[in-house]
Amino acid sequence: MTLVVPARAKLNLDLAVLAHTDDGYHEVRTHIQAVALHDLLELARADRTTMITTGPNRLDPENNSVRKAHQALEAETGRELPTAFHLDKRIPRGSGMGGASSDAAAALKALAALHNVRADLTKIAAGIGADVPFFLNGGAALAEGRGERLTTLPTELAWFAIAWPDIELSTAAVYRAWDEVKGNGPNELSDAAEHVEPRVRDFAARLGEGWQMTGSGSAFFVRCRDERSARQAVLKIDGWTAVTHSVGPWA
């Protein structure tokens, strides 16, 4: 049996950093919306585990979030789950759209189905990364704490234009910069991202008014009236762009 599953991206519609905790992490409050833009993960049972990555944003096949999710599920179940993976990577890395976390969540759910595994996937997901539990169900949610405390919200149909400056930002580096420069506005990590990489500031200036950074960057988005407006918004932007829409929870 072969499974093919989308690993969808997310946008942070706002993001407030509330505190720097004693254990070195940060507490946040953010409204997250899943969107149709996605990586594509194919899995099949195999004699041994292998992984192929394709696409313009391909990963190291030996060291990525899919393999981490696979190893975590094997550790939880106490048995090997030999799987052939093929990940077509479409969401840019280091863009703040949650591609790695979504890949991990998609892998957990698909592996559980493929190998008939019963396990607490939410617990495992939280151990992989703060955003991974959100991607187990998607839709819209208010995320608090490190991002693991989720309150499900209704999904409203919305279209978005997205632009990425081909700059891969480290989430950890951006949060460390926040400790120094703090921030304000709808995404309080924006100033920190620009501090880490000044080209992000230049890119934001070229995009103009209305565009907002998602997550810890470096992608920006603007909400549009409809698909046509979203396509118009990206027409004159050089580089990677996407037009996408909100999606509700998945099974």
pLDDT for the residue numbered 13:
98
Length of the chain: 251
Element (H, E) at 139: none
Instruction: Name residue 53's beta-bridge partners.
Output: 87
Architecture of domain 159-245: 2-Layer Sandwich (3.30)
Known catalytic membership, residue 14: no
Please provide the CATH number assigned to the domain covering 2-151: 3.30.230.10
Domain with CATH 3.30.230.10 in the chain: 2-151
Catalytic residue among 10, 68, 89, 109: 10
pLDDT for the residue numbered 247:
98
pLDDT tens per residue, range 14-50: 999 998 777 778 999 999 999 999 999 999 999 999 9
What's the pTM?
Answer: 0.96
Domain with CATH 3.30.70.890 in the chain: 159-245
Known catalytic membership, residue 10: yes
Nearest to 140 by CA among 243, 5, 14, 6: 14
Catalytic residue among 39, 88, 103, 131: 131
Nearest to 221 by CA among 200, 202, 204: 204
For residue 229, pLDDT over 90 is answered with yes
